[in-house]
Amino acid sequence: SQKIEQNSEALNIQEGKTATLTCNYTNYSPAYLQWYRQDPGRGPVFLLLIRENEKEKRKERLKVTFDTTLKQSLFHITASQPADSATYLCALGGYSTLTFGKGTMLLVSP
C-alpha cells in the first residue's frame, strides 16, 4: 500500500540555522509533490509545489528538492526564525487528489 513517511519527532533548531525536513514515500509514483504549513488549530497553508521532472524549487527562504529515484523530498528553510515554528506537511499528488503525510513539527528557538 502507499506510504508517506515524515519524521514523527519534532525538529528543534536554533534561530538563524537551516531546517531540513524529510518526506519519503513508497509504492507511489506521484506526478508532483506539495509542502504545506499548519499552525495549531488552523487549516494548512500551501508553500511550494514541485513536479516529477523538476529537481529543485525555491521561494524566498524555502527550497524543495524532489528525487524520484530515492523517492524522497527534502524541504529546507534557511535563516530560520521563531515564526517558522509550525508543523510541515508533505503531500503527494495524483490525478485528482492529494495524499498527505503526518507532518513534522519544527521548533525554532531564539
Partner 1 sequence: DGGITQSPKYLFRKEGQNVTLSCEQNLNHDAMYWYRQDPGQGLRLIYYSQIVNDFQKGDIAEGYSVSREKKESFPLTVTSAQKNPTAFYLCASSIPLAAGELFFGEGSRLTVL
Position among 44, 50, 71, 73 found at the interface with partner 1 (CB under 8 A): 44
Closest approach, Cβ 17 to partner 1, in A, equals 26
d(CA 39, CA 83): 10
Looking at the chain, the number of H-run helices and the number of E-run strands are 0, 11
What is the smallest separation between the CB atom of 102 and partner 1, expressed in angstroms? 4
Within 10 Å of residue 63's Cβ, how many Cβ atoms? 18
Query: Do 36 and 89 form a contact (C-beta atoms < 8 A)?
Result: yes
> Cβ closer to partner 1: 27 or 97?
97
Find the part of the chain contacting partner 1 (CB under 8 A) among 9-17, 41-49, 59-67, 74-82. Answer: 41-49
Closer Cβ to partner 1, 10 or 79, answer by number: 10
Secondary structure letter of residue 15 according to DSSP: T
Residue closer to partner 1, measured from CB, 6 or 80: 6
Strand partners, 67: 72
CB 88 within 8 A of CB 103: yes
Is 92 an interacting residue with respect to partner 1 (CB under 8 A)? Answer: no
For residue 93, state whether it binds partner 1 (rule: CB under 8 A).
yes
